[in-house]
Amino acid sequence: MAENLEKWIEELLKLDDAEDRMTDKQIKILKAAIEIFSEKGYAATSTSEIAQKAGVAEGTIFRHYKTKKDLLISIVAPLITKIITPIALKDFNKVLGASYPQYEDFLRAIIHNRLQFAKKNLHLIKILIQEIPFHPELQAQFKEHVAKKVLERFEKVVVYFQEKGDLRSIPTYTVIRFTISAAMGFIISRVLLVPELEWDDEKETELSIDLIMHGLSAKSSSQG
């Protein structure tokens, strides 16, 4: 999935309403907006700047997006519903479908996927992180489409492994929080905080899984 931003946008919005495809200019506007929003933040970005970078007239932006905020929403809303949500929910069903017999198989899959996605969509992720706190509409969407669903399924997964006797019987939400913290801590360090380091993604992933599993595993294990 998520090969690169351009495809994302194109496919996304074509899927949306097959007849009402995006024009070339619309795509240019979106791309320009994404780039500048992520660099300077929504509030500090002017529509004229976007128009210039997109190579269109200022008026053209408002032909496609009623307001500047509309443009932000048009980026973030489908990002949440069409991209983040599927990514976020990916792999969860496979646990119950027995594709991932162990919690660590599941961990490996979600870390791998989210990292790949994060690497390819830094701009979008930055916008998401930076703008959600300031826009209640986005917060609501995020909560409903991502947070709630993810937590629901995550809960099922964790309970499943807890009942199976693989995971410790500590509060489920604590397990989830610990897992997400450790995984996201790695991903965020990797792509946002110190991307300039030479990362051995494979090795760091395995170490992270190991550390998480040591914390959560019901059986004690020997260590190096």
Partner DNA sequence: AATGAATGAGGATTCATTCAT
Partner DNA sequence: CATGAATGAATCCTCATTCAT
Site for DNA, rule CB under 7 A: 23-26, 45-49, 56-64, 66-69
Length reported for the chain? 224
Out of 177, 195, 202, 205, point to the residue binding a copy of itself (CB under 8 A): 177
Minimal distance, residue 74 CB to DNA, in Å: 12
Nearer to a copy of itself, 35 or 210 (CB): 210
Beta-carbon contacts of residue 173 (< 8 Å; ≥ 6 apart): 155
CB of 37 within 8 A of CB of 53? no
Burial pattern 103-134, b for ≥16 Cβ within 10 A else e, equals bbebbbbbbebbbbbbebbebbbbbbeebbee
Distance in angstroms (rounded) separating the CA atoms of residues 91 and 150: 11
Out of 130, 150, 156, 172, point to the residue binding a copy of itself (CB under 8 A): 130
Site size toward a copy of itself (CB under 8 A) is: 40
CB of 90 within 8 A of CB of 113? yes
Footprint of a copy of itself on 151-170 (CB under 8 A): 168-170
96 binds a copy of itself (CB under 8 A): no
Q: Which does 25 bind (CB under 5 to 8 A by kind): DNA, a copy of itself, none?
A: DNA
Beta strands in 68-182 (DSSP E): none
Nearer to a copy of itself, 12 or 189 (CB): 189
Residue from 91, 108, 80, 92 nearest 182 by CA = 108
41 binds a copy of itself (CB under 8 A): yes
Footprint of a copy of itself on 12-31 (CB under 8 A): none
Minimal distance, residue 134 CB to DNA, in Å: 14
224 binds a copy of itself (CB under 8 A): yes
Nearer to DNA, 65 or 100 (CB): 65
